[in-house]
């Protein structure tokens, strides 16, 4: 016989929490050469610092210097400890070949499969050009944009959503650039910002800024602070300072660098995706927000698949079951995404006869955060 006492058991599943989503894990497709016993081309690796890159034989000098540049720029903003998936391919591989959904061994496809849904944003960088120009950029850029959208849609269907940043190589002039607002490639973005004057774009820098921020935050938010770079260029090789064409390029929805009067340093101009300004998903921040909600919704409801539930005489979902499904997703979204959205509501369609085999529909509505992109200050004297 034991001594009288008080026994307390901890309940650990009352909140119905789901696994935390990987909102800030990124990926890079880079070009270079294999390193014996360290680095294989076409193989996915996960690293957490520039030291991790060096362990693979990716150094600041030598044949893999270009890859190291993007990785080091990533960690200059993301910080050591951020998880980064990388894959290296030969320098002859072009941008469009990296994201070809029809090729099982295309680098981006291999990397996204290896990460199994961890990668929220992927960037691609090449050394090989098409040697032809279309709409103000190397023609490979727009071909890659088309294929990247198809690849992203393919992985979206697998509940592995991602945004793909494309290196906007070889810009000719602002006037010749395509207006990305006429596109519908909302899961792609083109980067013209660069820390070098060699026609390349600093996709690693953009990727690192994304990795350092919560899903709703724009990379162009001034409160993020200036970027940790000394020089700013576009991919025409010309410096950003004192350019008169930045507004034109900005209006065409490319990601570039900018300055502010009386404030030192460089900032991004925005986080545009290649789609119309009227598209709800015209910003990377908006896509990242909806993708996080998508993953939470999937993880919340996947365990409900093929569960037997009570229905009304007309085959529609019982009110108590509907209330349970509504509360379950609202609790998850409001807890996990607190501070990242303005509000969230779920509506269960109780007019559907599910006994007859019709799909039960659930409507999830997010009010996102707004952005003070333009602030008008009216200043003057007043005589009272």
Task: Clarify whether residues 120 and 259 are in a common domain.
Answer: yes
Average pLDDT over residues 136-151: 97
Domain end call among 288, 322, 338: 288
Q: What is the pLDDT of residues 268-277, one digit of tens each?
A: 999 999 999 9
| Encoded tokens for 294 | 């998508």
Res. 92: pLDDT tops 50: yes
Task: Clarify whether residues 51 and 174 are in a common domain.
Answer: yes
Task: Clarify whether residues 119 and 174 are in a common domain.
Answer: yes
Q: Which has the higher per-residue pLDDT, 344 or 27?
A: 27
Task: Clarify whether residues 341 and 262 are in a common domain.
Answer: no
Q: What is the pLDDT of residues 155-191, one digit of tens each?
A: 999 999 999 999 999 999 999 999 999 999 999 999 9
Rounded Cα distance between 22 and 355, Å, is: 36
Report if residue 298 sits inside a domain. no
Task: Clarify whether residues 273 and 352 are in a common domain.
Answer: no
Task: Clarify whether residues 152 and 219 are in a common domain.
Answer: yes
Name every residue whose Cβ is closer than 8 Å to that of residue 372 and which is 6 or more positions away in sequence. none
Task: Clarify whether residues 361 and 217 are in a common domain.
Answer: no
Task: Clarify whether residues 173 and 232 are in a common domain.
Answer: yes
pLDDT for residue 136: 97
Report if residue 177 sits inside a domain. yes
Task: Clarify whether residues 277 and 345 are in a common domain.
Answer: no
Task: Clarify whether residues 244 and 365 are in a common domain.
Answer: no
Report if residue 15 sits inside a domain. no
Report if residue 297 sits inside a domain. no
pLDDT for residue 257: 98
pLDDT for residue 15: 54
- Tell me what the pLDDT averaged over the chain comes to: 91
Q: SS3 of 205, please?
A: helix
Task: List residues bridging with 45 in a β-sheet.
Answer: 86
Report if residue 349 sits inside a domain. yes
Report if residue 331 sits inside a domain. yes
Domain enclosing residue 133, as ranges? 26-288
Q: Which has the higher per-residue pLDDT, 203 or 367?
A: 203
Rg, the chain, Cα only = 24
The number of distinct structural domains making up the chain is 2
Instruction: Write down the pTM of the prediction.
Output: 0.90
Percent of the chain whose predicted confidence (pLDDT) is above 90: 76
Task: Clarify whether residues 247 and 333 are in a common domain.
Answer: no
| Encoded tokens for 372 | 């003070």
CA 367: distance to chain centroid?
A: 19
Task: Clarify whether residues 123 and 239 are in a common domain.
Answer: yes
Domain end call among 257, 288, 319: 288
Domain end call among 254, 288, 322: 288
């Amino acid at each position: 016989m034991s001594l009288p006492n008080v026994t307390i058991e901890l309940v650990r599943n009352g909140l119905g929490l789901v696994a935390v989503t990987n909102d800030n894990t990124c990926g890079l497709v880079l070009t270079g050469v294999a390193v014996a016993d360290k680095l294989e081309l076409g193989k996915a690796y996960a690293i957490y610092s520039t030291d991790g890159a060096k362990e693979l034989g990716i150094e600041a000098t030598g044949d893999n210097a270009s890859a190291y540049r993007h990785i080091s720029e990533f960690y200059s903003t993301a910080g050591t400890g951020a998880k980064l998936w990388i894959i290296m391919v030969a320098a002859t591989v072009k941008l469009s070949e990296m994201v070809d959904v029809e090729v099982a061994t295309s680098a981006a496809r291999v990397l996204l499969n290896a990460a199994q849904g961890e990668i929220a944003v992927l960037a691609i960088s090449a050394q090989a050009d098409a040697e032809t120009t279309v709409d103000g950029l190397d023609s490979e850029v727009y071909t890659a944009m088309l294929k990247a959208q198809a690849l992203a849609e393919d992985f979206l269907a697998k509940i592995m959503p991602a945004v793909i940043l494309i290196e906007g190589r070889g810009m000719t002039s602002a006037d010749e650039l395509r207006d990305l607002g006429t596109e519908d490639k909302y899961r792609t973005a083109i980067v013209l910002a660069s820390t070098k004057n060699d026609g390349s774009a600093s996709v690693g820098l953009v990727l690192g800024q994304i990795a350092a921020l919560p899903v709703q935050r724009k990379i162009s938010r001034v409160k993020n602070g200036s970027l940790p770079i000394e020089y700013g260029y576009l991919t025409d090789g010309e410096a950003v300072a004192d350019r008169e064409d930045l507004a034109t390029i900005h209006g065409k929805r490319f990601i570039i660098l900018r300055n502010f009067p009386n404030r030192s340093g460089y900032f991004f101009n925005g986080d545009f995706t290649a789609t119309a300004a009227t598209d709800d998903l015209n910003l990377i921040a908006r896509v990242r927000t909806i993708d996080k909600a998508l993953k939470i919704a999937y993880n919340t409801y996947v365990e409900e698949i093929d569960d037997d539930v009570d229905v009304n005489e007309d085959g529609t979902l019982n009110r108590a079951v509907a209330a349970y499904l509504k509360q379950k997703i609202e609790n998850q979204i409001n807890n996990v995404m607190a501070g990242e959205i303005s509000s969230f509501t779920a509506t269960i369609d109780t007019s559907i006869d599910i006994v007859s085999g019709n799909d039960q529909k659930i409507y999830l509505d997010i009010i996102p955060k707004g952005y003070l992109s333009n602030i008008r200050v009216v200043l003057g004297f007043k005589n009272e």
